[in-house]
Structures are given as structure tokens and as C-alpha cells.
Amino acid sequence: MANPATQSSGKDVSESSRRKVLCVSSMGLQGWLGFAIWMTFGLLLEGLLGYKIPAYLADPQRRELFRLAHSHGTLLSLLLVLAALWIGRGHAVPNRAVCVSLRLGTILLPVGFLLAGIWHFESDPGFAIWLVPLGAVMVIFAVIALFVSSRRTIPSTENSD
């Protein structure tokens, strides 16, 4: 007869492994998809600039916010791919909140810049700019939590002389 403690810990390990795989695959997919979207958006911005589209050139605030959306979206997508690789190799074991926070933060931050640039006041960004600090805090929380999780998984190297 099997020991119930062994069965439940095996179930916990299986559940933990399943959550890790789900976190890694969703982060990786979102990272690559985001990378493709934001790089395409950057190409569109280059086209607007290259063809000297008046609606884009006449509004320096819109240009700046769109560039911020493109750069933050691209780099945060790269961060997602790197985090997925880091977790997948077993260097960190984050909980669900960390995965959700990182994934949601990498969406909110660049989308906040984008929406604030689409519709804004004469000299101020639109109301959607409030998504930027919210997304930034979520990304910072997730990065710090990944660091702490990484520190816990590093085996101790004690000198036994």
C-alpha cells in the first residue's frame, strides 16, 4: 500500500512542474509575439517618418510617446523571453503571481504609452499614461521576485576543509 504522504508530495511536485511549464511556455509565447508586434510597429513608425507623413511629423508629443511604446514593448518582450529561458533552465521557481505580474506589466507599460499618444491633450499625454507606472511597478516586482527566487535555488557552496 502506498504512503499517502508520498502520494500527496508527488502530486505537489507534479502540480508545481505543470505550473512551471505553463508559466515558461506562456511567457515565451507572449515574448516572441510581443517582439514581433512591437518590431512591426517600429517599422511602421520608420515608414511614417521616412515618407514624411504630416499627421505624424506635426505632433512631436505623439512621436515621442509612440517611440517610447515601441522601445519599451520590444525590450520588455525580450525580457519575457529571457525570463522564460531562465525559469525553464531551473534557475528560478516563481509563483503564479510573479508570472502574471511580469506578463501583465509587459503589456500595460508599452500600451499605456501607445494609447496616451493616440489621444492626448495639447501639451500633456492622454489619461492612458497612468497605465505606464502601474505596468512598471508590476515588472519591477516580478524582476525582484525572480531574483529572490533565483537566490533560493542556488545550491550553497560551503568550504569543507
Quick one: pLDDT at residue 5? 43
Q: Rounded distance, CA 5 to CA 63, Å?
A: 60
Q: Which residue has the higher pLDDT, 116 or 15?
A: 116
Q: Catalogue the long-range contacts made by 114-120 (C-beta closer than 8 Å, 24 or more residues apart).
A: 114/41, 114/65, 114/66, 114/69, 114/73, 116/65, 117/61, 117/62, 117/64, 117/65, 117/66, 117/68, 117/69, 118/62, 120/61, 120/62, 120/65
Quick one: pLDDT at residue 11? 60
For residue 68, the surrounding DSSP H or E stretch is: helix 60-88
Quick one: pLDDT at residue 69? 98
What number is the average pLDDT over the span 65-86? 97
What number is the average pLDDT over the span 46-58? 94
- Count of CB atoms within 10 A of residue 127's CB? 13
Set of cell numbers at residue 14: 507534479
Quick one: pLDDT at residue 159? 55
Quick one: pLDDT at residue 10? 55
Which of 83, 126, 124, 131 lies closest to 105 in space, CA to CA?
Answer: 131
Which of 113, 101, 76 lies closest to 23 in space, CA to CA?
Answer: 101
pLDDT band at 7 (very low <50, low <70, confident <90, very high): very low
Residue 13 clears pLDDT 70, i.e. is over it = no
Least confident of 1-5, 40-44, 81-85, 137-141: 1-5
pLDDT band at 146 (very low <50, low <70, confident <90, very high): very high
Considering the entire predicted model, what is its pTM?
0.83
